[in-house]
Amino acid sequence: MTNHIKVRALAGAWSIRAAGSVIAETYSALELIECDYDPVIYFPRDDIAMAFMDYTDKMSHCPHKGDARYFSIITKNGPIDNVAWSYESPDADMRQIKDHLAFYPNDKIVIEHV
């Protein structure tokens, strides 16, 4: 693993609510800490209601994690655009986050330890 990125399993239940609905709940969340950035919580894809997630055209590249694909959450009030991302084929040192999604905290979703 790269020296400046740490990934650790989190204890307890974690959830994501969007537009008042729970779209993810897991006991297998991961926390990724990288340099001076805020920690990022990654949720296993199997614990996310993927029927509410839609790929977007947005992509980005991290030299330490690889290429990220972005998702919008589809709600009855409309999409929450590019609010989640996934490293679907992460670099070998970051294989822990494969099959996980992370979400940008904002005023339309809530990421919480429940």
Question: How confident is the model at residue 4, as a pLDDT?
Answer: 86
Q: pLDDT (tens digit, 9 = 90+) per residue, 79-97?
A: 999 999 999 999 999 999 9
The pLDDT, as a whole number, for residue 2 is 62
Q: Is the pLDDT of residue 1 over 60?
A: no
pLDDT by residue (tens digit) across 24-68? 999 999 999 998 899 999 999 999 999 999 999 999 999 999 999
* CA distance linking residue 69 with residue 66, whole number of Å: 10
pLDDT given at position 18: 94
Q: Cα separation of 23 and 46, whole Å? A: 11
Report the topology of domain 5-113. Answer: 2.170.150
Q: Domain map of the chain by residue range? A: 5-113
In this predicted structure, the answer to whether residue 104 has a pLDDT above a threshold of 60 is yes
Instruction: State mean pLDDT over 15-22.
Output: 93
pTM of this structure: 0.94
Does residue 14 contact residue 107 with C-beta atoms inside 8 Å?
no
Q: How far is CA 100 from the centre of its chain?
A: 6
Closest CA to 72 of 43, 88, 51: 51
Distance from C-alpha of 72 to C-alpha of 48, rounded to nearest angstrom:
13
